Structures are given as structure tokens and as C-alpha cells.
Amino acid sequence: MMKNLLKSVLFAALFLPTTMLLHSCKKTTENPGNSTDNFDRGALLSNYTEGYIIPAYNNMENKISDLQSKVALFASSPDSASLSAVRLAWRSAYITWQGVDLLEFGPDESISLRSYFNIYPTTPSKINANITSGGYNLEEFGNKDAQGFPALDYLLNGIAGTDSEILSYYTTDAEAAKRKQYMKDIADKMLSKINAVKIAWETYKTDFVNNTATDANSSISIMTNAFVLYYERYLRAGKVGLPVGALTGVATPEITESFYTPDLCNELAIEALNSIEKFYTGTGYNNATDGLGYKDYLTTIGTKDNSNVLIADIISSELAEAKSTLSTFSPNLKQGITSDRTAVLNIYQQLQDVVPLLKVDLISALGISITYTDNDGD
């Protein structure tokens, strides 16, 4: 018995270095650029913080600040010039938001910019009731769908059919003053919230970068979960799946994003997808840096599909495919979900194809735990 054991130990001792040697040869020929530095989660987190998160919040704050001043200007002198100025600022800030929405973790987990910025569909009856009563509290849960970009969309674009009619709501209408105040309150709320998140990140970022573990509370875990959840629920479902009724079979155009400005909704979705791509690759918010991102980490881990293609590359190509289908789609999604439902369902399917790749393949390869409880890995 002992002899056999000795034999098998010897066999293992011989086999082991051989396997390793074979493997390392294979590896160097296949991926000559691989370096274990790509496993440096500290560097990855630092790149996400400095290269994406901080610049994204800075830019968002600038855009909201501009929006807020344009709203104030419009409120003090509502005319067609100030109306188009505030619309322009709104549009630009709304597009910028698409690159920030995926960051609901860390300080923003408790603040939740999304609740103050982009809960749609908005509820005009609630907005109007608030304006009439004047005694509203935008912090209340019940008012989440009466503020942010969607509420401004209604107030700037949806309240009446023509620009002159819209302007009359801010000039001659009995509640014009209250309505202007409501707009200002919405913009102020947005500014104070983005400001709070931005400031919180300044102090939070050190802890964030230093927490290089992979347990349920680690930086990489909360960031990845927020990223994947955003993609699945707010991009795939919120922007396309729910309106087109991919899972229910019933199209509901009234729940599309930027409902009163349908020509914008495709652009918002494209920008959202663009941001997902940027974040995935780690190229940085302004495309300025090419630091470590999920893609680099995944490439180093080296998981592949049956045809030997890196899963890191598959995610890229699936995202690119969805983006190109979405970019070339016309008319706008709001109209398209009824007039060309099959094509929108196809966009949905392409967005859907990425979900398991992110939710399963990416998270699995990163080795992130989801709970604190004991686990023996089966």
C-alpha cells in the first residue's frame, strides 16, 4: 500500500511540472502580452475612480449647474429664447446622465441620484397637483415620478402642443409663478444631490481603491453588481424591454424614456450603451485613459468559449453588435415599438444576449462572492 502511495506521489511530482511547463508554453504563444499585473485590483479600482467615476460626476455637476441656471433664467424671463436655452441644457444634461446612471454604488447607493433624476414615466397629474398645492416635498418617495429629467420633459415639452402655448403656462397662466418655482425646485434638488455625491466620492475614493478584496462588501463586488444590475434592469429592460413588452407581449409606448421628446430617446439609449462599453473596457470617461478595466482582467483570467474565443472579446463584440443595431434603427423607439415591433424586439434580443455574459460569465470569472455565509464551493 505504502509503495503504491509512494509511486503515485512520485508520479504526481513528475506530472506536475510537466503540466505547468506545457501550460506556460501554450500561454506564452497564445497571449504574449499577458502579465499578472492585470490582476491588480487596486490599479483597476484606481483607474475606474480617477478615469471614469470622478470625471463623470464632475461633468454631470457642470451640466446640472448649467441646467439650473438656465431654468432660473427661464423663470425670471420666460420667452422663446430662454425656453430653447433651457431645453438645450436639459437635453445635454440628460445625455450626460446616461454615463452616470450606471454608478449607483458607494455614496450613491444611499443617495440614489436615479430617484431624483430619472424615474419615468413621469406622472403629470402629480406634478400639477404639487404645483397647485405648493406644499410638496421632493424627498418623499411618492414624488419620485414628479421630478428630474422626465418631469422637466413634461414641463418644457409636454405641457402643451406648441411653444407659444407652452410659454403661456409660464406667463399668463394663473399658476405660472408656482409652476416656475416648481421647475426651479426640481433643478435645485438635482444640483444639491449631484453635489452631495460628488463631495462624498472625494472622501470615499481612498477606501474604495484600497478595498481590493472580493467578498460581498468589497469595492469590485459592489461596483460590478451595480454595473450589471444597471445594464439588465435600467438599460435593457427600462429603455427597450419594458416599452416593447418583450416579456409581456404588450407594447406600451407611454413608458419610453424622454416621452415628450421622442427624437431624443434613441440617443439616450445609444449613449447609455456607449457608457457601458467604456466602463467595460476601462478606456475612461473622456476616452483619455486606457487603464485597467473589466476587459483586461477577464482577458488575463483567459476564460474562453468552445471555439477558443476569449469571453472578454465576446462581450465586446456582442455589445458592439447591439450598439450598431440600435444606432442604425429609425424611427425613434417610442414610435418604433408599435410601427416596427419586430425590429425593436431584435434590438432587445441583442441587448439580452449580453445579460448572461455580464451576469454569469463576468462575475463568475472575477470570483466575486455574493454572501457572507459559509460556502464550500459546491
Partner 1 sequence: MTKANKALSKTYLEQPIPSAALAVFRLAFGLMLCGGVIRFWLRGWIDELYILPKHYFHYYGFEWVQPLGQYTYLLFFICGISALFFALGLFYRLSAVALFISFTYIELLDKTNYLNHYYFVSLVLFLMIWLPANVNLSLDGAMKPTIVRKYIPRWTTGSIRLMLAIVYCYAGLAKLNSDWLVHAMPLKLWLPAKNDLPLVGSLLNYVWVAYAFSWFGAVYDLSIPLLLLNRKTRRYAFVAVVVFHVATAILFPIGMFPYIMILSTLIFFDSKDIDRILMACKKRLNFITVANGKEMYTFAPLQKKALRALFICFFTIQLLLPWRYLLTPGELFWTEEGYRFSWRVMLMEKMGYAQFIVKDSSTGKQIAVNNADFLTPNQEKMMATQPDFLLQFAQILYNYYSQYGMSDPEVYATVYVSLNGRRSTLYTDSSVDLSKEKDSFRHKTWILDFKDKIYGL
Residues that bind partner 1 (CB under 8 A): 1-2, 5, 8-9, 12, 15-16, 19-20, 23-24, 27, 36, 39, 41-42, 212-215, 247-249, 301, 303-306, 311, 314, 355-357, 359-361, 363-378
Nearer to partner 1, 328 or 373 (CB): 373
Cα 345 from chain centre: 21
Q: H or E stretch including 163?
A: helix 163-171
Nearer to partner 1, 219 or 258 (CB): 219
Cell of 64: 446640472
Nearer to partner 1, 62 or 214 (CB): 214
Nearer to partner 1, 24 or 330 (CB): 24
Nearer to partner 1, 102 or 298 (CB): 298
Min CB(2)–partner 1 separation in Å: 7
Q: Tell me, what DSSP letter sits at residue 290?
A: -
Min CB(12)–partner 1 separation in Å: 5
Contact 320, 270 (CB under 8 A): no
Nearer to partner 1, 248 or 338 (CB): 248
Cell of 305: 468559449
Nearer to partner 1, 14 or 160 (CB): 14
Min CB(360)–partner 1 separation in Å: 4
Return the number of other C-beta atoms located less than 10 Å from residue 161's C-beta. 8
Cell of 4: 503504491
DSSP-based three-state secondary structure for 245: coil
Min CB(287)–partner 1 separation in Å: 28
Min CB(321)–partner 1 separation in Å: 16
Of 155, 205, 209, the C-alpha closest to 182 is 155
Min CB(375)–partner 1 separation in Å: 6
DSSP-based three-state secondary structure for 154: helix
d(CA 354, CA 206) in angstroms, rounded, equals 32
* DSSP sequence for 121-179: S--HHHHHHHHHH----TTSGGGGGGSHHHHHHIIIIISSSSHHHHHHHHHTSTTHHHH
Min CB(43)–partner 1 separation in Å: 12
Apex CA 313: angle with CA 33 and CA 273, to 5°? 125
